[in-house]
Amino acid sequence: MAIFCPNTISRRDFVKGSLAALGAVLSSRNTSWASDATSNERSSEKWAFVSDLHIPTDVSYNNRGFSPYKNLETIISKIISSAPDAVAITGDLSLTTGQPGEYQNLKTLLTPLSEKAPLYVSLGNHDNRDNFLQVFERLPGKRQSVAGKYVVVAENKPVRVILLDSLLYPDSELGLLGTLQRKWLSDYLNRDDKTPTVLCFHHAIAGSDGDLWEKPRLYDILGPISTTKSIKYSLLDISQLYDIIVPISKVKAVIFGHSHAYCFSEYKGIHQINLPATGYNLNDKDPVGWVEVRWTAQGGDFILHTIGGNQDKDGTIKKLTWRSVH
């Protein structure tokens, strides 16, 4: 296992080295919520990743000087300008418990972006599955038949993205994929194909130091029961998940949020990407912003874009190479 901080590569150098590839990127999209941006012959794609939006019912709400509503409004404008092929959101869409008004405000913000690129969504601990689906009735991606969960597959080339549902119940810090979802995932991944696959969900599977245990005990997850501040890892069935995905070498990375931090780690060849928050950070050392990803069948470039918090690493690029197929 290894942990990395984002490499400091200048945006100017990256653009020079990527000019030929960028020439093929369209300046705009015209895709609705119900459609998939699939181009099965693509050798590369550009995605935007956001997490921990925390959109409130009262749009004037702020947390320690951060306005989640205005932050997302700013970020959406920047994402549209970057012309991604798709956008993924890894949970905590709402501020508190997933109230309908929070999702209505989110839909208002996302509508201009949804007209340019498909948005794929997973749910976090501050979401309410039923309220979310009532507001967002039509969404892109192939929804999977997993009872009590919202699971979506984006079969884009060159990388397949699977958005899992780790929501246990609204406003619970802990997450759970559950037996049915893990069974579905195992069956799905054991199909006979070698498409590089990335898993996305909300709950953290590694601390900000990149640490990850192999066989966790409940105490390791909860720590002293008297305080939730001691919770270091938040997905209760992380051990069972890794029992599934470690032997399946087409699984290349896991992308998650929840901790409001930005960091990279690696476990048995599987990259772990902890996304920064869009709404606000929990620590002054962490950025607030979004991540642009340009990936191929061989790996991906992860580019941090900040709008607040610690902006020292704005524009830095982390280059990842996928583990090889057995």
- pLDDT (tens digit per residue) in 179-235: 999 999 999 999 989 999 999 999 988 654 444 443 343 334 444 333 333 345 689
260 φψ region: left (φ > 0), alpha (ψ -120 to 50), beta (else): left
DSSP state of 230: G
Architecture field, domain 2-321: 4-Layer Sandwich (3.60)
List pLDDT tens digits, range 173-191: 889 999 999 999 999 999 9
- Residue spans of the domains in the chain: they are 2-321
Model confidence at 326, pLDDT cuts 50, 70, 90, reads: low
For 146-158, give one letter per residue: b (16+ CB within 10 A) or e. beebbbbbbebbb
Strands (E) located in the chain: 2-4, 44-50, 86-90, 119-122, 142-143, 152-154, 160-163, 197-200, 251-256, 263-267, 270-274, 287-296, 299-309, 317-321
Over the chain, what is the mean pLDDT? 83
Evaluate if residue 6 carries a pLDDT over 60.
Answer: no
Lowest mean pLDDT segment, chosen from 28-32, 90-94, 282-286, 321-325: 28-32
Q: How far is CA 94 from the centre of its chain?
A: 15
CA separation for the pair 129, 166 (Å, rounded)? 11
Q: In degrees rounded to 5, what are phi and psi of residue 313?
A: -105, 20
Share of the chain above pLDDT 70, in %: 79
Name the residue with tokens 């693509």: 42
